[in-house]
Structure 1
Amino acid sequence: MAAVPMDDPGRTPSSYWAATAAAGPDIPPFDGSERADIAVIGAGYTGLSAALYLAERGFSVLVLDANEPGWGASGRNNGQVVAALKHEPHEIEERFGKERGGELIRTIGEGPDLVFGLIERYGMPCDARRSGILTAAHSAASLADLQRRVDVWARRGAPLRLMSRSELESQSGTAFYPGGCIDPRGGAINPLGYARGLAAAVLQQGGHIRRQAHVRSIRRAASGWQVMLDSGSVMASRVIVGTNGYTDDLWPGLKRTFLPARTPQIVSRPLRDNLRKSILPVGQIMSDTRYLTVGVRMHADGRLHLGGGGGTAGADRPALYEQLPREARRLFPQLGDIEWEFRWSGFMAMTPDRYPRLFELAPDIAASLGYSGRGICTATIMGRELARWAAGEAAIDELVLPASSFRTLPYYALRGPIVEGTVLFHSLRGRLKTPG
């Protein structure tokens, strides 16, 4: 049975991120009725980024979250700061054209600059480390695709570089892959710490955030829009929706524009010195080219962290986590049996084509969602873009991501078996193509 993302427990999950992140700012609960120039629904990266850029411009902005900043996917992901969507640059140009596609590629490529720039500007304590992203090829064909990626980015001045099997092994600690590439633009963060840092920056700039503020609906009013909550309402001239994988019934049909997929994360107890030094010794974060990407990172305290590689549309259950320890042993046979101390999951919003969605839901209401596992940079960028729209600086069709026609998925009711079937198919397909 498919789970409802908003039915997850209201407390922030007991994750490695929660155990190590600095405490977030004191956020009061919503109580009564308020007014703002712009109401922002969702205190994840999209909403907090939009609110920050609007507050910097001097707008009255109010962020509403059903739980607290970073409660959803923004506080549960692998923490990879990646300068890419799920598509190669030439595919983006084929989809959106040379001009719009090229602008999108350039902006996404600058995503790590934006994220790390915000972290530095506001002094966000989120263990930011810009040591690069390793992408390992899971087959000879995917290695050829990585060569094309490197060539395309090189023509755009980006410093990607192809790696041989031996070089990848020396920097990753695994001999499993035939090669890969490195993108020094990327890096790693504590994603919950980043969300809390964005929230603190919003408050510092004069914005407002309310927790325990579950938006139930949005309706037109004489002076703009009325955002209806369990207890009271908010009046605003414009509304930004940034609820992503945790979108519910606040706007008709919006939750049916993507498939919510629950993905796992596991973190070990600190490894012995000889083991920790044998895995990602240079400090990069690594993922591979399989459809069901596995993210691997080694934390400064010697803990091994794996995320992704599978998923479900259902509840958080033990079976969700069984594959990741096997993956760890397959990549790093030197591990032997190790103890896994933390495990947690969160929902990402998967679109059929894995491109994000930008919607103008009605005059003066816009939404961005569907980041398909590329949320840290992309959501921060889209928050900035939505701030331009809400400030009246750009029309919706002038933002970096072309706006989408609003279409619901006709098979949304079958999301449970569809997600399970997709995971099974790509898991088997990945095993057939892997070199090990």
Structure 2
Amino acid sequence: MLLKKRVVGMLSVMLSAAMVFNIAVMGTPRAEAASIGELNSQYSDLQQQINDLQGDLDSITDETARQQAEQQQLEQQMGIIQQQVDLLRTKIDTLNAQIAEKEQYIEQKEAEIAENEELFRQRLKAQYMSPDADGLSAVLGASTFSEMLIKADTMTRIADHDKQLIETLTQQKADLVAAKDELAASKADLESSKSELDSKNAQLAGQKSVVDANIDQLNQQKAMTESQLAQRRDELKVNQAQIEAAIKENEANNGGGGSGGGGFTPSSGVFQWPVPSCSNIYAPYGYSAIYGSEWHTGIDISGGGIYGQAIVAADDGQVVSAIYGNYGYGNYLLVYHGNGLYTLYGHCSSLAVGKGETVRRGQTIAYVGSTGNSTGPHLHFEVRQGGSYGSDVNPLNYL
């Protein structure tokens, strides 16, 4: 009962939290009318809700695993007890068969005793009723002394045999009754043990029914939380797109981007490697086993000790975006190199240049970090081509 209360209590808290999340999102201002700062604040709220929901989901998953382990343990215990019950039932059946056999033997012995006692009584009665047939007449009627002794001995032997036969049959019957009583006592012990096991099995079945109900509740809560989590993630994607659009609109209004100028020579399209201290590509451009069905818009450069290492400009250019953020690319730079070419440096720990600055090829412009949507220290490096910040292209074609 305490276990059930604990699970129900946990689910109630999670459900209440989920309702608060729904109210919070429903009350979020529409992104179209929001500033970049407001959009960033909404992003932080959504990310916090996602983190909380993920924490709830992890707790539900852990509790479900614990309940399933307990369920499996109870099933194993019930299986062992059922095997013991089946074994006792087999032994009881065997004892019942043995008791029935003893009872049959007892009936046979009782019949033999009754038959011999009846014959003995009839013989005594005949001797008593017939003077010529009694033992004394038979003995005295002998023609010789030797014959008299033989007849007397014969009659004694017959009487002793009858007596011994009845005594033997009576003892055999008593032995059978004792054996039957012993079997009955053993059967009673086995039935008592079986009754205890049946009671314990029923108790375990009751505990298992509680665990089964808990698992059903947890599965329902898991489905609800996963649905809410998917909804928040969809809202986060919309929010990220709105932030990107707002940033581009803001930069366009302030003269960012362009097709050249800004005190630098337009790029020839041959770029320098952006992290001199590390040449390892952790995740390639496009589809890969790492990102699965998700299109990767750049390359991820990562390796041991890369955190905090210098990131250099791939070529001369002008910084058109220098963003400190906790979403998407995190802290990132977007540099325009002329001729419709841009490079993007994402997830930086910190930035060394600001928007509008002119940078030179090989100049340190940022440092490797793990900000934004990142699972570890790395540089997400993109090359983009075309107007309005272009479209992603394979960076390896320019390095």
**TM-score (norm: length of structure 2):** 0.20
Alignment TM-score, normalising by the size of structure 1: 0.18
The structure whose Rg is larger is 2
Higher relative contact order structure (alpha carbons within 8 Å, sequence separation ≥ 6): 1
Greater per-residue helix proportion? 2
